[in-house]
Amino acid sequence: MNRLALSLLIASAFATPAAFAQTTGKVKVGLMLPATGTFAALGTAVENGFRLYIQEQGGKLAGREIEFVKVDDESDPAKATDNVNKLIKRDNVDVLVGTVHSGVAMAMARVAKATGTLLIVPNAGADAVTGAMCAPNIFRSSFSNWQPGYAMGEAMAQKGHKKVVTITWKYAAGDESVNGFKEAFEKKGGKVVKELTLPFPNVEFQALLTEIASTKPDAVYTFFAGGGAVKFVKDYAAAGLNKSIPLYGAGFLTDGTLEAQGADAEGLMTTLHYADGLNTPRDQSFRLAYAKAFKLQPDVYAVQGYDAAQILAAGMNAVKGDLGKKTEFTEAVRKAKIDSPRGVFTMSKSHNPVQDIYLRQVGSKENKVISVASKALVDPGRGCRM
């Protein structure tokens, strides 16, 4: 054997196992979601949706079996960096999927960016994740906090409201949802006269409701979700405010919460990238499959989990399961048309869904679609450079 043949043989002996490891064997998905606290139900719905899509593909993507490792992030930003490092360093996950809370998601994005680990965000809307923190390996299947807020700003101005009070939790999601709302509402001539906040995840609303009553705005815009949204809607009605000051919100106010809110939610109008009654074949088949698998109706969080798995599939199919082909993976997801139950969406330059935002109204325990409030709304991706 000549020297060239020998060195090729040695090189291939070293190259084969590495290449082999990238394209076959299990893919470890690290699910970092809340299993406890005010967002626990949201985490379960995201996980259900993700698992449903994988099940529909026979448990495999691009021929590789999908294995799960889970961490309860408790929606606690203080524990987030440790939690994500556990998944990367201890569990050696190939892909991170998480999470619900914006503050936790920003910590995940920081670590994902520094380590180059693929991250798909299935809910948290933190604007920075697809803004200043954007990266080729970070994608979102959900929304930016700006998106539903901006759409509602336009919708409420169009309804003729002029003077609005906002109320939310004091953290990234609340602040950014209100900022998006204010940007559109004030551009159209409205005025936000008071911005009320309380710390996340507090639900002691009474003093703030009294302040709303004494301010007498035309309407109220709010961001709450999960258990906090249930309590806010019930307290708003118990204070009698629903009779005099119309309440609006980003759609999380009434998504996955209607059973618990009961009659107190009837008539509420919200904006979101999903709704009941879309009546498309794609949404109907998703709803049937979800109800069959989990004995539950899906909500927006389930859709976002399902679509996070679709994003992973789009990338993995393009690289034939070789997650080492990072550039090709990114290019494929950038070009993908994700066939979501919400309607087809594409990725913006900063990897956030470009999607229709629906105006919905609660009736008979459903978030019924009224119209498209903003067609193909693109998050501005402020500060994103890649």
User: Of 139, 146, 252, 290, which lies in the binding site for ligand BEZ, with binding defined by CB under 6 A?
Assistant: 252
Distance between CA 149 and CA 171 in Å, rounded?
15
User: Of 124, 212, 245, 319, which lies in the binding site for ligand BEZ, with binding defined by CB under 6 A?
Assistant: 124
C-beta of 103: minimal distance to ligand BEZ in Å?
7
**Residues 134-163 contacting ligand BEZ, CB under 6 A:** 145
Q: Which stretch binds ligand BEZ (CB under 6 A): 96-104, 186-194, 214-222, 256-264?
A: 96-104
Q: From 228, 287, 291, 305, select the one nearest 260 (Cα to Cα).
A: 228
CB closer to ligand BEZ out of 39 and 236 = 39
C-beta of 226: minimal distance to ligand BEZ in Å?
6
Distance between CA 137 and CA 113 in Å, rounded?
7
Q: How many CA atoms lie within 13 A of 341 on its CB side?
A: 29
Q: From 262, 254, 260, select the one nearest 299 (Cα to Cα).
A: 254
CB closer to ligand BEZ out of 117 and 254 = 254
Strand partners, 359: 271, 371
CB closer to ligand BEZ out of 145 and 222 = 145
131, two tokens: 């803004």
Residue 357 binds ligand BEZ (CB under 6 A): no
Q: From 371, 383, 317, select the one nearest 57 (Cα to Cα).
A: 317
Residue 231 binds ligand BEZ (CB under 6 A): no
CB closer to ligand BEZ out of 253 and 323 = 253
CB closer to ligand BEZ out of 140 and 161 = 140
311, two tokens: 């994003």
Residue 229 binds ligand BEZ (CB under 6 A): no
Residue 156's identity, in one-letter code, is M
Residue 100 binds ligand BEZ (CB under 6 A): yes
User: Of 111, 225, 311, 336, which lies in the binding site for ligand BEZ, with binding defined by CB under 6 A?
Assistant: 225
Question: How, if at all, do strands 191-198 and 163-169 pair?
Answer: parallel
Residue 312 binds ligand BEZ (CB under 6 A): no
User: Of 64, 101, 234, 273, which lies in the binding site for ligand BEZ, with binding defined by CB under 6 A?
Assistant: 101
C-beta of 166: minimal distance to ligand BEZ in Å?
16
Q: Which stretch binds ligand BEZ (CB under 6 A): 117-125, 186-194, 207-215, 236-244?
A: 117-125
Residue 125 binds ligand BEZ (CB under 6 A): yes
**Residues 37-56 contacting ligand BEZ, CB under 6 A:** 39, 42
Question: How, if at all, do strands 95-97 and 27-33 pair?
Answer: parallel
Distance between CA 147 and CA 59 in Å, rounded?
33
CB closer to ligand BEZ out of 222 and 330 = 222
What is the secondary structure of 319-384 as a DSSP string?
Answer: TTT-TT-HHHHHHHHHH--EEETTEEEEE-TTS-EEEEEEEEEEETTEEEEEEEEEEEEPP--TT-
Residue 236 binds ligand BEZ (CB under 6 A): no
C-beta of 145: minimal distance to ligand BEZ in Å?
6
Q: Which stretch binds ligand BEZ (CB under 6 A): 44-52, 124-132, 291-299, 304-312?
A: 124-132
Residue 308 binds ligand BEZ (CB under 6 A): no
**Residues 161-200 contacting ligand BEZ, CB under 6 A:** 173
Residue 109 binds ligand BEZ (CB under 6 A): no
A 10 A CB-CB count for 204 gives: 10
Distance between CA 91 and CA 94 in Å, rounded?
9
349, two tokens: 């330059």
Residue 377 binds ligand BEZ (CB under 6 A): no
**Angstrom distances, CA of residue 117 to CA of 21, 100, 206, 326:** 16, 19, 44, 10
What is the secondary structure of 245-311 as a DSSP string?
Answer: S-EEEEGGGTSS-HHHHGGGGTT-EEEES--BT---HHHHHHHHHHHHHHSS---HHHHHHHHHHHH
Q: Which stretch binds ligand BEZ (CB under 6 A): 77-85, 98-106, 257-265, 360-368?
A: 98-106
C-beta of 39: minimal distance to ligand BEZ in Å?
6
Residue 102 binds ligand BEZ (CB under 6 A): yes
Site residues (vs ligand BEZ, CB under 6 A): 39, 42, 100-102, 123-126, 145, 173, 225, 252
